[in-house]
Amino acid sequence: MSRKFLFSVFSVMFLLAGLALSAHAGKPAGATADIVDTAISAGSFKTLVAAIQAAGLVETLKGEGPFTVFAPTDEAFAKLPPGTLDALLKDKAKLQAVLTYHVVAGKVMAADVAGLKSAKTVQGQSLAIDTSKGVKVGGANVVKTDIVTSNGVIHVIDTVLLPN
At 97-154, the pLDDT tens digits run: 999 999 999 999 999 987 899 999 999 999 999 999 889 999 999 999 999 999 999 9
The H-or-E segment that residue 68 falls in is strand 67-72
Q: Is the pLDDT of residue 64 over 50?
A: yes
In angstroms, how far is CA 146 from the centroid of its own chain? 13
Q: Which long-range contacts (CB under 8 A, 24 or more apart) does 116-123 make?
A: 119/68, 121/163, 122/67, 123/97, 123/98, 123/163
User: Which residues are 129's β-sheet partners?
Assistant: 137
- Determine the average pLDDT of the residues in 60-77: 96
Phi, psi for 33 (deg, rounded to 5) = -80, 165
pLDDT at 114: 76
Q: Is the pLDDT of residue 78 over 90?
A: yes
Residue type, 24: H
pLDDT at 7: 32
pLDDT at 4: 40
pLDDT at 23: 38
pLDDT at 22: 34
Residue range 3-36, pLDDT digits in tens: 343 333 333 333 333 333 333 433 333 447 999 9
pLDDT at 12: 31
Residue range 30-63, pLDDT digits in tens: 447 999 999 999 999 999 999 999 999 999 999 9
pLDDT at 14: 32
Q: How many residues does the chain have?
A: 164
Instruction: Check if the beta carbon of residue 48 is closer than 8 Å to that of residue 135.
Output: no
Domains and CATH numbers, the chain: 3-26+33-157 (2.30.180.10)
